[in-house]
Amino acid sequence: MTRLSVNINKIATIRNARGGNLPNVLEAALNCERYGAHGITVHPRPDERHIRYQDVRDIRSKITTELNIEGYPTEKFISLVLEVLPHQVTLVPDPPDAITSNAGWDTKKHKNYLKEIIAIFQAKNIRTSIFVDTEAVNINYAAKTGTNRVELYTESYATLYPKNKINAVKSFVQAAALAKENGLEINAGHDLNLENLKYFCENTLYINEVSIGHALISDALYFGLENTIQMYLRELR
């Protein structure tokens, strides 16, 4: 079964809109794992406009499921990762002012840089993943960095899915097979939801984990967090 990691950034966004600690981000993370999520994903940004660095510390000390920290490897980000020692770090090439992740790495161009950063994390036994698109060159060069996994950036799949789901998933099927050939494990994320998740995982083989935040937290406003997590888990079975 593909594992579900719940990205809780949007919960922190709501909290930060009013200040204080409502909703409680740590409590939300604990509830996610209590309701069946296999992991928690956080994406702290330099301005801490949603997840704060202290949130990451608090969550790491309390949860029992996997913690995945996403982000661009600034010096501050690297220091945080080495401090809290998550189970997985996902390297994302987004600038500090990006609203959300909107591209994968050019792994050929940044191979040496990524290789250096990955070695730092792996020396601490942290599993590494690189955010990539489905271009073969980026899959092949990701393998050359020494990373454990790639995370396939699925926005294009989600956008095309309502119009032509066969064409939408085609490049991801090929990319996953190529990643597997290169000895990489595979994650996926971005705009996956209750409508398109099952088809993606049924057709794109070898997916170890999906990271879902915006859609899942939005669904929880209608269905409740516990019920929503169970709905997503059913799509993955």
Q: Active-site residue numbers?
A: 43, 70, 190
Which residues, 6 or more positions from 211, have their beta carbon under 8 angstroms from its beta carbon? 5, 6, 7, 41, 68, 70, 90, 151, 187, 188, 189
Question: Is the bond preceding residue 23 a cis peptide, omega within 30 degrees?
Answer: yes
Helix (H, G, I), strand (E, B) or coil at 155: helix
Q: How far apart are CA 80 and CA 30, in angstroms?
A: 21
* Other residues' Cβ atoms within 10 Å of the Cβ of residue 160: 17
- Residue located via tokens 């590494």: 128
- Residue located via tokens 């949603």: 50
Buried b (16+ CB within 10 A) or exposed e, 31-57: bbbebebbbbbbbbbeeeebbbbebbe
Alpha helices in the chain, H assignment, sequence order: 9-18, 25-34, 53-62, 75-84, 111-122, 136-144, 155-160, 165-181, 197-203, 214-223, 225-236
Q: How far apart are CA 137 and CA 123, in angstroms?
A: 26
